[in-house]
Amino acid sequence: MTETLLEAPPLSGIRVIELARVLAGPWAGQMLADLGADVIKIENPDGGDDTRHWGPPFVEGADGENLSAAYYHSTNRGKRSVIADFRTPEGQELVRRLVATADVVIENFKLGGLTKYGLDYESLRATNPKLVYCSITGFGQTGPYANLAGYDYIVQGMSGFMSITGEADGQPMKAGVAIADIFTGIYAVSAIEAALIHALKSGHGQHIDMALLDVQAAVLANQNMNYLISGQAPTRLGNAHPNISPYEVVPTADGYLILAVGNDGQFKRLCAILGLSDMADDARFSTNRARVANRNEVRSRVSAETLKLPKADLLAACEANAVPAGAINSIEEMFADPQVKARGLRVDLADCAGTMIPGVRTPVVLSRTPLRYERPSPRLGEHQEEVLAELAKLEGEK
């Protein structure tokens, strides 16, 4: 077997100036940093990124120093922190100087929020025509809502996501994490990389317009198509699937597990496990289309049998018979899972004072250009002198 030759991370040599805070923009910046980019996070002098204060819990140094909230550390790994006050000419000039040496800018100010500082795309591309400038807002650069502030929670509601999430007779529910922000950050990385490739080929940068509402609406996937084809808006089904049955949470003698029966063969094998062989040959249940039409009876009969079995026994039987099933872990149980441990999802990194800060790696594995995990989230202004010295050197070389 030939040994893989490891090379520098794929975005080594790319410089990103992050004028973003909270989640969507910083999530994109963190992923770019993991991929090897030099991400310089510009923070305001009045406490920095808002999420530094979004706790508890807070990370504490060995001497009890507050090293910012866990929330901040979830999305700022691998960056360098510089302080600049956009309200002052000195702060604006520092950002312009940094952008002149950069490939990418990420910002998530309200529409036009950076224009008054001369830090908008049109102003900055005049001195850096190859600049890839990614704007992340709630509703985009155009349309009747463009001037409104965008919040993940509100976008989850406006996008239709909450209308299909939750129990049928309960409240519409948001997701347990800010998925509109996170999906937007991930899509932004894809767009930035595409624009960088174009800039390398053509010498021309461009403006990327990312909107939380666009993204959250787009990722409704099959539910969007269910509506567009049928004309019927999907509704909340709790843990059930709109297009497959049984594909939901079921009770056992000592808890719950997930059944994810995706085809007729799997259903037949599940029936054998549960002693429901009559269902496998019944025209009301033998095909997925029929099971979806009769989902309430499927749920009732399947659940009555799963309730008789211990969770571990049912999981083992499903695994032995190639019926997809899975546990419902707490986050603690997830981190203790042997598969998660084997994949190395947790990363522990020492900060400048030796404090170990845990995190979760970007879920991308590249065989030849592995991602980089060298430092945790920065302290506010931690790299001010370092970055300014580099900047002076770069400017002196021109």
- Rounded Cα distance between 132 and 210, Å, is 13
Buried b (16+ CB within 10 A) or exposed e, 112-137: ebbeebbbbbeebbeebebbbbbbbb
Query: The domain at 15-219+344-397 falls in which architecture?
Result: 3-Layer(aba) Sandwich (3.40)
Q: Show the tokens assigned to 335.
A: 């981190």
- Rounded Cα distance between 52 and 378, Å, is 11
Q: Which of 306, 278, 283, 281 is nearest to 294 (CA)?
A: 283
Q: What is the overall mean pLDDT for the chain?
A: 94
- Residues 210-236 have pLDDT tens digits of 999 999 999 999 999 999 999 999 999
Report whether 291 contacts 267 (CB < 8 A).
yes
Q: Show the tokens assigned to 69.
A: 């909230």
Contacts of 349 (CB under 8 A, 6+ apart): 77, 356, 357, 359, 373, 374, 375, 376
Q: Is the pLDDT reported for residue 1 higher than 60?
A: no
Long-range contacts of 297-303 (CB under 8 A, 24+ apart): 298/245, 298/246, 299/240, 299/245, 299/246, 299/248, 299/250, 301/276, 302/246, 302/250, 302/259, 302/270, 302/274, 302/276, 303/250, 303/251
CATH topology of domain 247-329: formyl-coa transferase, domain 3 (3.30.1540)
Cis omega before residue 57 (within 30°)? yes
Report whether 75 contacts 27 (CB < 8 A).
yes
Q: What is the mean pLDDT of residues 190-209?
A: 97
Given 103, 120, 152, 181, the catalytic residue: 181
The pLDDT value recorded for residue 3 is 54
Report whether 127 contacts 97 (CB < 8 A).
no
To the nearest 10 degrees (0 to 180), the angle between helices 264-274 and 295-306 is 40
Give the model's confidence band at 4: pLDDT under 50 very low, under 70 low, under 90 confident, else very high: low
All structural domains of the chain with their residue ranges: 15-219+344-397, 247-329
- Rounded Cα distance between 355 and 100, Å, is 34
Give the model's confidence band at 397: pLDDT under 50 very low, under 70 low, under 90 confident, else very high: confident
Beta bridge partners of 42: 82
pTM here? 0.92
The DSSP code sequence of 164-232 is GSS-TTS-----SS-HHHHHHHHHHHHHHHHHHHHHHHHS--EEEEEEHHHHHHHTTHHHHHHHHHHS-
Give the model's confidence band at 63: pLDDT under 50 very low, under 70 low, under 90 confident, else very high: confident
120 is known as an active-site residue: no
- Rounded Cα distance between 244 and 240, Å, is 8
- Rounded Cα distance between 225 and 217, Å, is 12
Q: Is the pLDDT reported for residue 5 higher than 80?
A: no
- Residues 72-121 have pLDDT tens digits of 999 999 999 999 999 999 999 999 999 999 999 999 999 999 999 999 99
Residue 35 CB neighbour total at 10 angstroms: 23
- Residues 147-175 have pLDDT tens digits of 999 999 999 999 999 999 999 999 999 99
């909340």: which residue's tokens? 236
